[in-house]
C-alpha cells in the first residue's frame, strides 16, 4: 500500500542566494553604502573604468571596492594604488560572485570605516562573464553591464538576460569605434528593446570627459536611492 501526497511548493530554487542578497542590502542601507555591481565579458574594461571612477568619487563618497576574480589579485592591486580600500574575493572555480561571498566580506571586515572615512559607495567588480552573474543578485542597488565595442553590437541579442536585468549599459572602449564595425545606435536599440528603462552610455577611458555622463548618472542614482530607501526589489521578483 502506498499513499501519495502532492506538495505544492512554488519554492524559489535560488532562495538561499536571494535571502542573503536581501541581508546584504540591509547591511548596505544601515551603513549608508550605495552598492554597484559591474558585470561584463572578460576584458571589457571594468577594472580600468573603476580606476578612473574612484578618483572622481574620492572626495565626496570615499569609494570602497570588492574585486571578484577566479584566480589571483591582479585587479585588486591595480585598484589599491588609488588609495581606496579593496577587498579581494577569489572565487576559485566559480564563474560569478554570489551573495554569500559578499556577506562573508561584510561580516569579516570593517569595510564601513576606512582611514576614518565611511565609504558611501561600494563598487563590486564581478567575474568576467555575461551569463551566470545575471542569476545571482548580491544585494546591490544598481547593476551595470559593460559591453566593449570590440565584442560586437549583437551581444545584447545573444545574452538577453543580463542586459534585461541591467539598470545601465556602458559601451566601453569607444576610442576604438573607427576600427571596428560596432553600430552604437543598433546596440542601444537592442538594449532598449530588452529593457526600455535601461540607461545607456558610450565612453572611453582614454577620453576622460566621456566618463562624465555616466558618473553623473551614478551620483543621481545615489540621491534617488536616499529618498526611496528600504525598498528592496529582487531582480527576478517582478515576475510574481
Partner 1 sequence: MPTEASICKIQIGEFRNVDPDSLAFAFDALKSNDPQTQNCQLEIKMISAEAICQSNHHSYHPAEANFYACTICGDGIGKLISGQELEIASIIMETVQIETMDETRKA
Ligand X SMILES: Nc1nc2c(ncn2[C@@H]2O[C@H](COP(=O)(O)OP(=O)(O)OP(=O)(O)O)[C@@H](O)[C@H]2O)c(=O)[nH]1
Per CB under 8 A, residues contacting partner 1 are 1-14, 131-132, 134-135, 157, 160-162, 164, 189-190, 192-197, 236, 238-239
Query: Is residue 88 part of the contact set for ligand X (CB under 6 A)?
Result: no
Residue 131 contacts residue 162 (beta carbons within 8 Å):
yes
- Shortest Cβ distance from residue 191 to partner 1 (Å)? 8
Which is nearer to ligand X, 18 or 38 (by Cβ)? Answer: 38
Reference 88, options 65, 58, 108, 114; nearest CA is 65
What are the helix (H) ranges across 125-183? 155-158, 160-164
Query: Is residue 172 part of the contact set for ligand X (CB under 6 A)?
Result: yes
The C-alpha cell that represents 147 in the structure block: 559591453
Count the site residues for ligand X by CB under 6 A: 17
Beta strands 121-125 and 86-90 are unpaired
Rounded Cα distance between 127 and 39, Å, is 7
H/E element, 114? none
Site track for ligand X across 18-47, x = CB under 6 A: ----------------------x-xxxxxx
The C-alpha cell that represents 95 in the structure block: 564563474
Rounded Cα distance between 204 and 32, Å, is 30
Query: Is residue 206 part of the contact set for ligand X (CB under 6 A)?
Result: yes
Q: Which of residues 74-133 bind Mg ion (CB under 5 A)?
A: 75
Q: Which does 205 bind (CB under 5 to 8 A by kind): Mg ion, ligand X, partner 1, none?
A: ligand X
Which is nearer to partner 1, 76 or 134 (by Cβ)? Answer: 134
By the criterion CB under 6 A, which residues form the site for ligand X? 40, 42-48, 75, 128, 172-173, 175-176, 204-206
Amino acid at each position: 500500500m502506498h499513499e501519495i501526497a502532492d506538495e505544492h511548493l512554488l519554492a524559489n530554487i535560488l532562495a538561499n542566494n536571494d535571502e542573503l542578497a536581501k541581508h546584504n542590502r540591509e547591511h548596505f542601507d544601515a551603513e549608508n553604502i550605495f552598492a554597484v555591481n559591474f558585470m561584463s565579458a572578460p576584458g571589457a574594461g571594468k577594472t580600468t573604468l573603476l580606476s578612473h571612477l574612484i578618483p572622481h568619487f574620492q572626495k565626496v563618497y570615499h569609494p570602497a571596492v570588492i574585486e571578484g576574480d577566479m584566480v589571483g589579485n591582479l585587479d585588486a592591486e591595480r585598484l589599491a594604488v588609488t588609495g581606496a580600500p579593496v577587498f579581494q574575493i577569489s572565487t576559485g572555480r566559480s564563474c560569478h560572485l554570489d551573495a554569500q561571498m559578499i556577506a562573508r566580506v561584510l561580516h569579516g571586515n570593517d569595510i564601513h570605516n576606512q582611514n576614518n572615512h565611511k565609504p558611501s559607495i561600494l563598487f563590486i567588480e564581478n567575474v568576467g562573464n555575461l551569463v551566470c552573474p545575471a542569476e545571482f543578485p548580491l544585494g546591490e542597488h544598481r547593476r551595470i553591464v559593460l559591453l566593449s565595442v570590440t565584442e560586437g553590437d549583437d551581444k545584447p541579442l545573444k545574452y538577453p538576460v543580463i542586459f534585461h536585468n541591467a539598470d545601465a549599459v556602458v559601451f566601453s572602449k569607444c576610442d576604438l569605434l573607427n576600427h571596428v564595425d560596432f553600430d552604437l545606435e543598433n546596440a542601444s536599440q537592442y538594449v532598449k528593446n530588452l529593457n526600455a528603462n535601461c540607461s545607456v552610455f558610450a565612453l572611453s577611458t582614454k577620453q576622460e570627459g566621456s566618463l562624465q555622463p555616466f558618473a553623473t548618472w551614478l551620483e543621481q542614482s545615489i540621491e534617488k536611492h536616499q529618498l526611496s530607501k528600504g525598498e528592496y526589489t529582487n531582480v527576478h521578483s517582478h515576475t510574481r
